[in-house]
Amino acid sequence: MHPIAHAAARPDHPALVMASSGETVSFAEMDDYANRFAQLMRSRGLGRGDHVAILMENNKHYLQLVWGAQRCGIMMVPISTRLTAPEICYILQDSDTKLLITSTYFDSVLPAIRQECPDLPMLLVGGQGDESLEAALASQEAGPIADQQPGQYMLYSSGTTGRPKGVRPAPPADEDIQAVTPLMGLAVMGAGWPSDGSMVYLSPAPLYHAAPLGWCTTAHRLGATVVVMEKFDPEFALATIEKYKVTDSQWVPTHFVRMLKLDPEVRTRYDLSSHQRAIHAAAPCPVPVKREMIEWWGPIIIEYYAGSEGIGMTMIKSEDWLAHPGSVGKAIYGQIHVCDPEGNELPPETDGLLFFENDIVPTYHNDPEKTAEAMHPKGWMTLGDIGHLDPDGYLYLTDRKSHMIISGGVNIYPQEIENLLVTHDKVMDAAVIGAPCPDFGEKVVAVVQPIDMADAGPQLEAELRDFLAPNLAKIKMPKLFDFRAQLPREANGKLYKRELRDEYKAMAEAETEQA
C-alpha cells in the first residue's frame, strides 16, 4: 500500500487535514504535489545521495514534500524549528545540503542563514520570484518521473549532549517505492492499526521529529486521513478528536501531563468515543500519569520504545502494562541486550546499558567516533538508555546514560525524581540536572515549572520536599529548587537539559572566579 495506490482508488479521499485551519488535501492532490516535487528535484539535478533540508512549521506542505522526496531518491534532512540560525547553519553545512526548503514563517532567521550559507539555494512557501516554492512546483509536469527511487530522511539528534548528529540510515532494502516498510507491519500487527483506509490519525507534534514523520507516513500508506495540529494545545487536542472523529493518535508523556492538568470540567467536555488507539513514546511515562490516562481514555493506550536510529522497538498495550506497570513492553523489532560498562550481558532485574541487535544498523553522519561509541563488540547498537529486563522479557527504562548525576560517588538517575515531581498538583513540568558542587562533584538541582508562577517560592519548595521525601532517598533529594515559567523543552517532548547544565556550569565558574 502507498499513497499512489490510494490516489488511484480513492482520489477525493482526504489525505491531510490541518486541525486549526481546516485546510484539506486529497490523495489525488497530494500525489500531484509529490510528482511535481520529484520533477522539480530532477530539473535541478538532484537525486540519490543528494541532501535537501526542510525547515518548516507544521503546514499542509510538509508531508507532501516528504512524499515527493520519497519517490525521487533524495535524502531529506528535517530541521527542528526551535533551533537558532547558527544551529541551523551547522546542520546545513554538516549535511552538505544542496537545497533548503523553508517558509516565510522563518523570516527572522533567514537573513543570518543567507549570510552564513550564501551559496545555498532556497525555496520558500510564500516566497517571491525564483524562491517561490509554489511557483517552482507549478512550473513542473504533474506526471511521475521516469526513474522513481525510494527517498529517505536523515534526522539529526536533538543535541541534548552537544552538537547534533545526523543519523544516516542504511540504504533502502527495496528499490520499489511502494514496498512494504517495517513500520507498516509493526503498526498493523503490533498496534492494531486498520489497513482498510478507515483510520483518522491525529498528529499533535512537530513533523520534523522522527515519530510524527514515521507514523504519519505509515498512516498515509494505510490510506488514513492524517489530521495535523499546527501546534499542541491540550484542550484543542481533545476538541480535535471530537471534531474530526479521530480513531488513532500519537503522543508523548508531556502531552498527557498537560491534558491531565486541565480542569475536570474541560476534560469531560468533549466526545472522545471515536478514539480507539493512542500510541505514545519519547520518554518514560510516570506510572501515575499512565494509570490516570488509562482510567480516563480506557485501555486504548499503547506505549512503545524506539529511536531515530530505527534499530529496534518494544511495545506494550494497556492490559499488559497494568500487569507490568512502568514497562515499555517486549521487543517486537530487534533483540534487546542489557550490558555492564565492559559489555558483558547482565541478568534480569539488573540495570545496564541497552543494546539492540539488528541486521540493519545506521551510522552517524561525519562522525565515525560517535558511531563506534554506540556499538557493542558483537555489532549491537545502543541509543544511550539505561534499563533492565524482567524475567518475562519486559523492558523497564531507568534514564538516559548522559543524564546520570554522580554525587558523592553515587549514581543518581533524574528521571525518577522528575516522574515524582510532575505528579504534584501544582507542577506543570520539571527537569532535574546535576550542577557542579565543590564537595560532592555534582549536586541535584530541580528546575520546576509551576502551573501558576505565583506559587513559586519557599512555600512551594517546602511542599515539594515533603512530597518527595516518602519516596526518595536523601541522597536523591534536590539540593536546590529553581522555579521558572518555562522549561527548554522541544515541542516533541524532548527536554534540552544541556542548556540548563551549561547555565549552571557557567554560574559555578563565575562564582569561582569571584571567590
Last residue of one domain, picked from the residues 156, 174, 192? 174
Position 389 pLDDT exceeds 50: yes
Q: Do 381 and 274 share a structural domain? A: yes
Is it the case that residue 462 has pLDDT exceeding 60? yes
pLDDT value at 159 more than 60: no
289 located within any domain:
yes
Cα separation, 197 vs 220, whole angstroms: 9
Q: Residue 50: inside a domain, yes or no? A: yes
Who's near 295: CB < 8 A, 6+ residues apart?
none
> What is the residue-wise DSSP string for 362-424?
-EETT-HHHHHHTB-TTS-EEEEEEEEE-TTS-EEEEEEGGG-EEETTEEE-HHHHHHHHTTS
**Per-residue pLDDT at 286:** 87
Largest separation between any pair of C-alpha atoms in the chain: 74
Query: How confident is the model at residue 160, as a pLDDT?
Result: 46
d(CA 415, CA 86): 30
| CATH code (residue 323) | 3.40.50.12780
pLDDT of 28 strictly over 50: yes
CB atoms within 10 A of CB 271: 13
Domain boundary among 152, 174, 196: 174
| pLDDT, mean of residues 140-145 | 93
Considering the domain boundaries, does residue 185 fall inside one?
Answer: no
Could you list the residue range(s) of the whole structural domain that residue 27 is in?
23-174
**163 and 137 both lie in a single domain:** yes
Statement to judge: residues 390 and 408 lie in one domain: no
| 152: alpha, beta or left? (left if phi > 0; alpha if psi -120 to 50) | beta
Average pLDDT, the chain: 92
At residue 346, the pLDDT reads: 97
Please indicate, yes or no, whether residues 236 and 362 belong to a single structural domain of this protein.
yes
Give the predicted TM-score (pTM) of the model.
0.87
| Residue 473: Cβ within 10 Å count | 10
Collect all residues with Cβ–Cβ distance below 8 Å to 15 and sequence separation of at least 6.
3, 6, 25, 26, 27, 29, 30, 220, 225, 226
Residues 56, 88: one domain? yes
Please report the pLDDT score of residue 50 as a whole number: 96
pLDDT > 90? residue 472? no
Angle between helices 287-297 and 253-260 (to 10 degrees): 70
What is the tens place of the pLDDT at every residue in 410-450? 778 888 898 899 999 999 999 998 888 877 788 899 999 99
Same-domain status, 89 and 34: yes
Q: Are 395 and 330 in contact, with CB atoms under 8 Å apart?
A: yes
**371 and 425 part of one domain:** no
Residues 364 and 429 occupy one common structural domain: no
Question: Residues of 75-102 as b/e, b for ≥16 C-beta within 10 angstroms?
Answer: bbbbbbbbbebebbbbbbebbebbbbbb
Of 401, 416, 435, which residue is a domain's last? 401
**Is there a domain that residue 370 lies in?**
yes
What pLDDT does residue 171 have?
86
- Alpha-carbon distance of 358 to 391, in angstroms, equals 22
Per-residue model confidence as pLDDT tens digits over 404-417: 888 877 778 888 89
Specify whether 261 is located in the same domain as 353. Answer: yes
Asked if residue 392 and residue 419 are part of one domain, the reply reads no
Q: Is residue 357 part of a domain?
A: yes
Residues 387, 238 within the same domain: yes
**Closest among 15, 6, 37 to 145, alpha carbons compared:** 37
CATH of the domain at 477: 3.30.300.30
- What pLDDT is recorded for position 515? 59
Higher pLDDT, 109 or 184: 109
Residues in the chain: 515
Q: For residue 331, is it within any domain?
A: yes
Q: Please give the average per-residue pLDDT across 102-115, as a whole number.
A: 96
Q: pLDDT, tens digit, for every residue of 210-256?
A: 899 999 999 999 999 999 999 999 999 999 999 999 999 999 888 99
Tally of structural domains, the chain? 3
Task: List the strands of the sheet with 166-168, edge to edge.
Answer: 155-156, 166-168, 363-364
In a domain, 200, yes or no: no
Residues of the chain with pLDDT > 90: what percent? 71
155 shares a domain with 74: yes
Asked if residue 300 belongs to a domain, the reply is: yes
**pLDDT tens for each residue of 486-508:** 998 876 667 778 888 888 888 87
- Flag whether pLDDT at 158 surpasses 70: no
Q: Cell digits for 340? A: 555492564
Give dist(CA 385, CA 282) in Å, integer: 12
Interval 290-324: pLDDT, tens: 999 999 999 999 999 998 888 999 999 999 999 99
* Overall average pLDDT of the 351-364 stretch: 92
What CA–CA distance (Å, rounded) separates 515 from 510? 9
